[in-house]
A and B are shown apart, each in its own frame.
Chain A
Amino acid sequence: MDLLQAIVAHYNHWIIIFLMVSGLYIVVARGNMIKKLVGLGLFQTSVYLLYLSPGKILGGTPPIISEQHTVYSNPLPHVLILTAIVVGVATLALGLALVVRINEAFGTIEEDEIFAGEEDE
């Protein structure tokens, strides 16, 4: 019973781990370059949750000094993740741009087809 409680109490971690591992799996297992980028996005999103979920305190308010409130949530993780999201968007944009160029140069975005074509040369 204790074990079950421990598992339920940390449900946010289970979600994070599931997203992290499935994202990484997609990156490794898929040969389609767009799908790989989707997996990469999933992987990065799990990290956003990793930062955000401990930053939230139940019943906590934004950190504005007021006499009625004594429990505050830490705003720093949100700021950090805002930066990380921007970095993630930039990475995705560059990745997609590269995929477009690869499609122009090779005529396909499937990794195995590209490598098969390279060997013929």
Chain B
Amino acid sequence: MIAANLPALQVVLPLFGAVLCAFLQRGILAWGVALIVSLAMPFIAAGLLIQVLDSGTISYALGGWKPPIGIEYRVDVVNAFILLLVSLIGAIIMPYAKASVEKEIPADRQAWFYAIYLLCLCGLLGMAITGDAFNIFVFMEVSSLAAYALIAMGRDRRALLAAYQYLIMGTIGATFYVIGVGLLYSMTGTLNLADMASRLGGIENSRAVLAAMAFLTVGISLKLALFPLHVWLPNAYAYAPSVATVFLAATATKVAVYLLLRYFFTVLGTVFAHKSLPIAEIVLILSLAAMFGASIVAIFQDDVKRMLAYSSVGQIGYITLGIAITNLAGLTGGIVHLFNHALIKGSLFMAIGAVFYQIGSVKLDDVAGLGKRMPITMGAFAIAGLSIIGAPGTVGFISKWYLVLGAFEKGWWWLAFLIVASSLISVVYIGRIIEVVWFRPVSAAAKRAKEPPLSMLVPTLLLVAATIYFGFDTTATAGIAGLAAELLLAGIR
């Protein structure tokens, strides 16, 4: 009974949890609810993934209305992987959140924070699980509106500006998405993604379908912060409360990338394969621009959170690069980097969140010498930093390995060179932080800093340990990513 209804539970539990949190009004009680719900999520997602690996795609008719009339929740390897990623990150943040939220959010708003956090989780999981184009839009707006509110809760008054800017750009992105879906709907008469894909055969070159593809690409790219549509991201990540930054950086953009994969390969696979629009070429150029441009900008930031945010824009470039390479190894690299980057950025932002908890600032001048005061946290930061550079033995190396492999398979040796060259830029900005933290005299702000409470330290170390573990044992990550890439590539043949 429960096993058959897992797809619905995955979305409904956080939704009810959010309502409960809003009614509870006490921060600590709301945290309890959010903790229970978040910890249940990975089990549901893992259950779904096991079912999918055992017996193939799950189709769940929501409310008993058969697809394509009703809304279908459709889980295959690709989105089961994304669901597991989002719910794992969501679960690991919750123990960490308690201390950090108590410090950064006023007491009367803490319950609201958890309610909004669960709404955001619900929206992201919903986007990933649903098989209905319009339902995706609804969940997209649930998660986005929640994200704007989470960011606006930041201490700094500039958080409000960042949230406003994100609201404007996010809404434009979502509206572009709806325009694209509207055009596809008027051409095919269906909103079910699988049904839509089958009805697009024969009309893949019509002007309306091409326009739909363009609108969808731009709309989703705004959500995933593809260079140069990333301008909302650095401020949003820099001024949001630490917990919100960790959560959004690790999950929100990743789910948007999933949507891009879904549309390019499954729904519009025939259009993508037909090459009437040079989508792969455009994505290739923008990915390279992100890998170099955003990483270079990251070097010149004086605020560690902003620096990591720009680094996120650059890392998203590697993920979309996998789409542009469009062969098995390349796409596997893109998808596995989606998972790996979530782990890496999650641990980096968690370590920085612990710093903010202790010294109330993340300016580069203020974190100087922290390595002597918070050696464990800063050690974790250094290891995760190595991972973002792509040092062998870390997850970052695995993703880049597959990307380079894909580039060689395609005969693009210059691309392999560029992937390695861009990694060197991340050596500079990560190196800059590590130099300041470990080799400078202790700053005035850092004088009395000590390690954060265990509830923050343990999740950070767990996530860092995962970035090492999955760097050696790749059967789970790269294996499933490979299956997902195979499934996606079948759509454009």
Chain A interface (Cβ < 8 Å from any Cβ of B): 20, 24, 27, 33, 36, 40, 43-44, 47, 50-51, 54, 77, 80, 83-84, 87, 90-91, 94-95, 98-99, 101-102, 105-106, 114, 118
Residue of A nearest to B151 (CB): A98
Q: A43-B172, A98-B152 are in contact. Are A50 and B163 (CB under 8 A)?
A: no
Check A47 against B172 for contact (C-beta < 8 Å).
Answer: no
Q: How far is the CB of B49 from chain A (nearest CB, A)?
A: 30
Task: Tell which of B14-22, B153-161, B423-431, B468-476 binds the partner.
Answer: B153-161
Please tell me the number of chain B residues within 8 Å of chain A, measured between CB atoms. Answer: 26
Q: Which of A50, A51, A87 has the most CB of B within 10 A?
A: A87
Q: Is B301 an interface residue (CB 8 A)?
A: no
Whether the Cβ atoms of A101 and B152 lie closer than 8 Å is: yes
* Alpha-carbon separation in the docked complex, A83 to B135 (Å): 10
Contact A95 B164 (CB under 8 A): yes
Inter-chain contact A40/B164, CB cutoff 8 Å: no
Question: With A90-B145, A94-B148 as given contacts, are A101 and B167 in contact (CB-CB < 8 Å)?
Answer: no
Contacts of B141 in A (CB 8 A): 87, 90-91
Cβ–Cβ contact A43 & B148, under 8 A: no
Among B168, B175, B178, the residue within 8 A (CB) of A36 is B168
Q: Does B182 have its Cβ within 8 Å of any Cβ on chain A?
A: yes
Chain B residue at smallest Cβ distance from A52: B182
- Any A CB within 8 A of the CB of B205: no
A contact patch SS: helix
Asked if B359 lies at the interface with its beta carbon under 8 angstroms from chain A, I say no
How distant is the Cα of A40 from the Cα of B164 in the complex, in angstroms? 12
Chain B contact residues: helix, strand, loop or mixed: helix
Partner of A83, one of B134, B145, B152: B134
B171 touches A40 (CB 8 A): yes
A84 and B168: CB pair below 8 A?
no
Contact between chains at B149 and A84 (CB < 8 Å): no
30 contacts between A and B (CB under 8 A): A27-B168, A40-B171, A43-B175, A44-B171, A44-B175, A47-B182, A50-B179, A50-B182, A51-B182, A54-B186, A80-B191, A83-B134, A84-B178, A87-B138, A91-B145, A91-B171, A94-B145, A94-B167, A95-B167, A95-B168, A95-B171, A98-B148, A98-B152, A98-B160, A98-B167, A101-B160, A102-B161, A105-B157, A105-B160, A106-B157
Q: Which residues of A sit under 8 angstroms from B171, Cβ to Cβ?
A: 40, 44, 91, 95
Known interface pairs A50-B183, A101-B152; 6 further A-B residue pairs with C-beta atoms within 8 A, sorted by A's residue number: A43-B175, A84-B137, A91-B141, A94-B148, A94-B167, A106-B157
Query: Whole-angstrom distance between the alpha carbons of A101 and B142 in the complex?
Result: 21
Taking a contact as CB atoms under 8 Å apart, the answer to whether B134 and A24 are in contact is no
Return the chain B residue nearest A115 by Cβ.
B161
In the bound assembly, the distance between CA atoms of A54 and B186 in angstroms comes to 7
Pick the residue among B158, B178, B179 that contacts A118 (CB under 8 A).
B158
Question: In the bound complex, what is the Cα–Cα distance between A83 and B141 (angstroms)?
Answer: 11
Q: Contact residues of B with A, CB < 8 Å?
A: 134, 137-138, 141, 145, 148-149, 152, 157-158, 160-161, 163-164, 167-168, 171-172, 175, 178-179, 182-183, 185-186, 191
Cβ-defined contact, B178 with A47, below 8 A: yes
5 residue pairs, one from A and one from B, having the closest CB atoms:
A105-B157, A87-B141, A98-B164, A102-B160, A54-B186
Which of A95, A98, A105 has the most B CB atoms < 10 Å from its CB?
A: A98
Residues of A within 8 A of B138 (CB): 83, 87
In the assembled complex, how far is the CB of residue A3 from the closest CB belonging to chain B, in whole angstroms? 16
Residue numbers in A under 8 Å from B185 (CB-CB): 51, 77
> A90 vs B138: C-alpha distance in the bound complex, in angstroms?
12
CB distance from A50 to the nearest CB of B (A): 5
Question: In the complex where A40-B168, A51-B182, A91-B171 touch, is A114 in contact with B161 (Cβ < 8 A)?
Answer: yes
Chain B contacts of A27 at CB under 8 A?
168, 172
Chain B residue at smallest Cβ distance from A55: B186
When C-beta atoms are compared, the residue in chain B nearest to A83 turns out to be B138
A92 to B476 Cα, complex, angstroms? 43
B158 neighbours in A (Cβ, 8 Å): 118
Question: A102, B134: Cβ atoms under 8 Å?
Answer: no
Instruction: Give the residues in chain A near B160, CB-CB below 8 Å.
Output: 98, 101-102, 105
Pick from A50, A51, A99: contact of B164, CB under 8 Å = A99
On chain B, the residues within 8 Å of A99 by CB distance are: 164
Q: Are B175 and A47 in contact (CB under 8 A)?
A: yes
Residues of B within 8 A of A40 (CB): 168, 171-172
CB distance A33 to B182 under 8 Å?
A: no
Q: How far is the CB of B179 from chain A (nearest CB, A)?
A: 6
Q: Report Cα–Cα, A99/B168, bound state, in Å.
A: 12
Task: Give the distance in Å from the alpha carbon of A84 to the alpha carbon of B179 in the complex.
Answer: 12
Which residue of chain B has its CB nearest to the CB of A106? Answer: B157
Q: Kindly list chain B residues whose C-beta atoms are within 8 Å of the C-beta of A118.
A: 158
On chain A, the residues within 8 Å of B161 by CB distance are 102, 114
A106 partner residues in chain B, CB cutoff 8 A:
157
Docked pose: A66 CA to B160 CA in angstroms? 55
Closest B residue to A80 by beta carbon equals: B134
User: Which chain B positions have C-beta within 8 A of A87?
Assistant: 137-138, 141
For the complex, what is the distance from the CA of A101 to the CA of B168, rounded to whole Å? 16
